[in-house]
Amino acid sequence: MGAVEEGGKVASSIVDTFKSQPIILALVLIVLGLLALLYWTAEKQASLRSHDIEIMTAEHKQSLELISRCIVPKPQALTFPIKPMAFK
């Protein structure tokens, strides 16, 4: 027997199974629907995350530009001595 006949036998046995027990067909369709839903939500979440990262990088760049324009004061000498804390 060839591969085509074997494939036909498998397909006919699957169709016979679905005819005798339609709940299996319903379960297969539900599983496929859930897989499609999971894929769709993962795609939406990935695009949302990408959009959020773009916004955060733009804000980070903006804050770095503002900070780079600040004037850094000269370091001042401490007027009191710093003593280390005693450990108990």
The full DSSP string for 60-85 is: HHHHHHHHHTSPPPPP---SS---PP
pLDDT classification of 45: cutoffs 50, 70, 90:
very high
The structure's pTM equals 0.54
The encoded tokens of residue 16 equal 């016979």
Distance separating alpha carbons of residues 71 and 67, to the nearest angstrom: 9
The domain spans of the chain are 10-68
- Could you identify the residue written with the tokens 């027990």? 21
Q: Are 25 and 18 in contact (CB under 8 A)?
A: yes
Q: What is the mean pLDDT of residues 30-38?
A: 98
pLDDT at 82: 67
